[in-house]
Amino acid sequence: MASYLEIADDSKGHELDLFCVPKHYEEDLDSVIIPNGLIKDRNPSMDISGITSASFNERMHVTFSTAAVLNWAERLARDIVRDMGGHHIVALCVLKGGYKFFADLMDYIKTLNQNSDESVPLTVDFIRLKSYSNDESTNCVKVIGGDELSALAGKNVLIVEDIVETGKTMETLLKLLNECRPKMVKVVSLLVKRTPRSSGYRPDYIGFEVPDKFLVGYALDYNEYFRDLSHICILSEKAKEKYKV
Ligand code: IMP
Ligand code: MG
């Protein structure tokens, strides 16, 4: 199992006024749980060298599964290329929530391709699924757009997802995809929620394991709002009412 960052259940996140948050969302968020810089590990203001994981843990309210995961996005890209390389990879972005993570992860894989002796051809595909209404997963997962899955026959497919909660969406997509006989399928999810509603499904690669809260930002939405927010934040109960459909 690849390493991932674990964000504790009692983590309160970080105060909003420490970060740049759009004015129109200031009243809607409880806290920032994963700053954009931590997702990308590219933020020069987040110099974590010399900070032990314990003190970093105190400051950021996260616990580390291993010390090595500080550069986890690059690590993920490296693990993916190691496991799937040698054959053309088709990266399948699950829209809309996966698009930010997809773009950043593709950049890391591209950089690896540019800077190493071995490289792997990478093409991209998109699929659109819908399973959510308000803050609840519905039992009905619908493919509502995107490319034909049949084009993935015989390919090494990397599914890129924003968040796995119950696991139903991914289980449904995997079933549909396997009918098209790809050569290999791996799933990378930016987030996995620790929840009693989980079916037990775990992706092959995970960025962060998060508490059972409704999260928005970095392309994750609540009824289409909050995709225009850089950091991953905890949505307030009041906002769930405000943006309810
Ligand atoms: P699952 O089928 O319950 O695993 O849910 C997966 C999908 O529900 C994800 O791809 C998201 O689109 C959506 N989802 C689940 N939890 C959240 C959340 O906390 N914020 C935003 N979207 C979520
Ligand atoms: Mg999704």
217 touches ligand 1 (CB under 6 Å) = no
Residue 177: pLDDT over 80? yes
Identify the pLDDT of residue 132. 63
Residue-wise pLDDT for 202-243, tens only, equals 999 999 999 999 999 999 999 999 999 999 999 999 999 999
Closest Cα to atom 23 of ligand 1? 163
> Could you give the CA distance from residue 98 to residue 92 in angstroms, rounded to a whole number?
10
Amino acid at position 166, single letter: T
Which two structure tokens, joined as six digits, stand for 125? 């595909």
Atom in ligand 1 nearest the alpha carbon of residue 168: 2
Judged against a pLDDT cut of 60, whether residue 45 lies above it is answered with: no
Condensed to tens digits (0 to 9), the pLDDT of residues 8-36 reads: 998 888 999 889 999 999 999 999 998 88
Q: How far is the CA of 77 from the centre of ligand 1 (A)?
A: 23
Which distant-in-sequence residues (6+ apart) come within 8 Å of 8 by Cβ?
Answer: 61, 62, 63, 211
Q: Are 104 and 190 in contact (CB under 8 A)?
A: no
Residue appearing with tokens 């909660």: 165
Burial class (CB in 10 A: 0-12, 13-18, 19+), 186: middle
Digit-coded pLDDT (tens) for 50-104: 333 333 444 444 433 333 334 566 778 888 888 887 788 999 999 989 999 999 8
* Pocket mutation for ligand 1, best pick of 33, 135, 136, 163 (most atoms within 8 Å of C-beta): 163
